[in-house]
Structure 1
Amino acid sequence: MSTSTSLQPLGNLSPGGNLNAYVQAVSGIAVLSQEEEQRLAEDLYYNGNLDAARQLVMAHLRFVVHIARSYNGYGLQMGDLVQEGNVGLMKAVKRFNPEKGVRLVSFAVHWIKAEIHEFILRNWRIVKVATTKAQRKLFFNLRGAKKRLAWLTNDEAKAVAEDLNVEVKHVREMEGRLSSYDATFDAGENDDDDSSYVAPAHYLEDKRYDPAVQLEASNWEETNVNGLESALEQLDERSRTILQRRWLSDSKATLHDLAAEYGISAERVRQLEKNAMNKIKTMMLAA
Structure 2
Amino acid sequence: MTTPSTESSTTKKTQDSAGTEKNAAREAALNAAAQRPPYDASALEDTSTRDLVPAMPTHLSAPGVNLGAYINTVHQIPILTPTQEQELAHRYYDEGDVEAARLLVMSHLRFVIHIARSYSGYGLPQADLIQEGNLGLMKAVKRFDPNKGVRLVSFAVHWIKAEIHEFVIRNWRIVKVATTKAHRKLFFNLRSLKKTNNQLTLEEADAIAKDLNVTRKQVLEMESRLTSYDASFETQSSDDDDGRYAPQLFLEDGIDPAEMIEESDWEESNSSALIAAMDTLDDRSRDIVEQRWLTEQKSTLHELAAVYSISAERVRQIEKNAMDKIRDAMTIESVILPDDIQ
1:229 matched to which residue of 2? Answer: none
What whole-Å deviation, never above 9, does each CA across 1:175-222 have from its counterpart, x for those lacking one? Answer: 1111112257xxxxxxxxxxxxxxxx9xxxxxxxxxxxxxxxxxxxxx
C-alpha distance in structure 2 between counterparts of 1:76 and 1:147, whole Å: 24
Which amino acid counterpart does residue 151 of structure 2 have in structure 1?
A: R
The Cα shift of 1:136 comes to 1.0
The Cα shift of 1:7 comes to 5.9
1:43 matched to which residue of 2? Answer: 91
The answer to which structure, 1 or 2, has the higher relative contact order (CA under 8 A, 6+ apart) is 2
Listed as ranges, the gaps of 5+ residues in structure 1 are 185-200, 202-287
Q: Identify which of 130, 133, 141 aligns with 2:189.
A: 141
1:256 matched to which residue of 2? Answer: none
The Cα shift of 1:173 comes to 1.4
Q: Is the 8 A contact 2:52 2:101 kept in 1?
A: no
Give the 3-state SS of the residue equivalent to 1:72 in structure 2: helix
C-alpha distance in structure 1 between counterparts of 2:107 and 2:48, whole Å: 17
2:50 matched to which residue of 1? Answer: 4
What whole-Å deviation, never above 9, does each CA across 1:44-70 have from its counterpart, x for those lacking one? Answer: 111101111001100010010110011
Q: TM-score, normalised by structure 1?
A: 0.59
The farther-off stretch of 67-76 and 149-158 is 149-158
Q: Percent same amino acid among aligned pairs?
A: 63
Q: Identify which of 157, 175, 190 aligns with 2:205.
A: 157
Two-structure CA RMSD over aligned residues (Å) = 2.4
The Cα shift of 1:6 comes to 5.1
C-alpha distance in structure 2 between counterparts of 1:149 and 1:126, whole Å: 19
The Cα shift of 1:16 comes to 4.6
C-alpha distance in structure 1 between counterparts of 2:189 and 2:109, whole Å: 25
Aligned length: 184
What whole-Å deviation, never above 9, does each CA across 1:28-51 have from its counterpart, x for those lacking one? Answer: 011112222122111111110111
| Residues 139 and 126 of structure 1, relative CA distance in 2, 3 Å threshold | closer
Which amino acid counterpart does residue 138 of structure 1 have in structure 2?
A: L
Q: Is 1:91 the counterpart of 2:139 in the alignment?
A: yes
| Residues 143 and 15 of structure 1, relative CA distance in 2, 3 Å threshold | farther
C-alpha distance in structure 1 between counterparts of 2:152 and 2:60, whole Å: 25
Q: TM-score, normalised by structure 2?
A: 0.50
The farther-off stretch of 123-132 and 61-70 is 123-132
| Residues 34 and 67 of structure 1, relative CA distance in 2, 3 Å threshold | same
Q: Is the 8 A contact 2:80 2:107 kept in 1?
A: yes
Structure 2 counterparts to residues 101-140 of structure 1, below 5 A: 101-140=149-188
Structure 2 counterparts to residues 109-258 of structure 1, below 5 A: 109-146=157-194, 148-182=196-230
Q: Is the 8 A contact 1:68 1:81 kept in 2?
A: yes
The farther-off stretch of 82-91 and 141-150 is 141-150
C-alpha distance in structure 1 between counterparts of 2:131 and 2:165, whole Å: 12
Listed as ranges, the gaps of 5+ residues in structure 2 are 1-46, 233-243, 245-342
